[in-house]
Amino acid sequence: MLGRLNHVAIAVPDLAAAANQYRASLGAEVTAPQALPEHGVTVVFINLPNTKIELLEPLGADSPIAAFLVKNPSGGMHHVCYEVDDILAARDRLQADGARVLGDGNPRIGAHGKPVLFLHPKDFCGTLVELEQAG
């Protein structure tokens, strides 16, 4: 069911500062900021040869990232994203096996313009998992 690792997401309190740190210190290629109001975040991607790093900051006080940063003021790893060939089939199989899909269970459009779902961290070794429709 799982495809390649699409990205690792890191929550940050200051997106511009974090992007600059990756750009200046590590020589990273960083995309322009993208606001995703439906997810409550603003993101940039750091492109690597084999995957991406997503830096995300809260977009508004109701953002789930704001709550994460209260517990982790310096930021930290927020989630990992895996690609799947068929997101609805993956959701149905996971739910049949007892995994909890966050939200209403229906995919939403993510930062790459593709359907995504999030899986409860308590079902995956304490790690929030994002699934993204491949292709």
Q: What is the pLDDT of residue 11?
A: 98
Query: Contact, 80 vs 129, CB < 8 A?
Result: yes
CATH no. for residue 92? Answer: 3.10.180.10
Count of the separate structural domains present in the chain? 1
* Residues with active-site annotation: 130
Q: What is the pLDDT of residue 61?
A: 87
pTM value > 0.85: yes
Listed as ranges, residues in the chain with pLDDT below 70 are none
Q: What is the pLDDT of residue 1?
A: 86
Task: Look up the domain containing 128 and give its range.
Answer: 2-133
Tell me the CA distances in angstroms from 120 to 5, 28, 60, 114, one per residue in order.
Answer: 18, 31, 23, 20
d(CA 39, CA 53) in angstroms, rounded, equals 17
Q: What is the pLDDT of residue 41?
A: 96
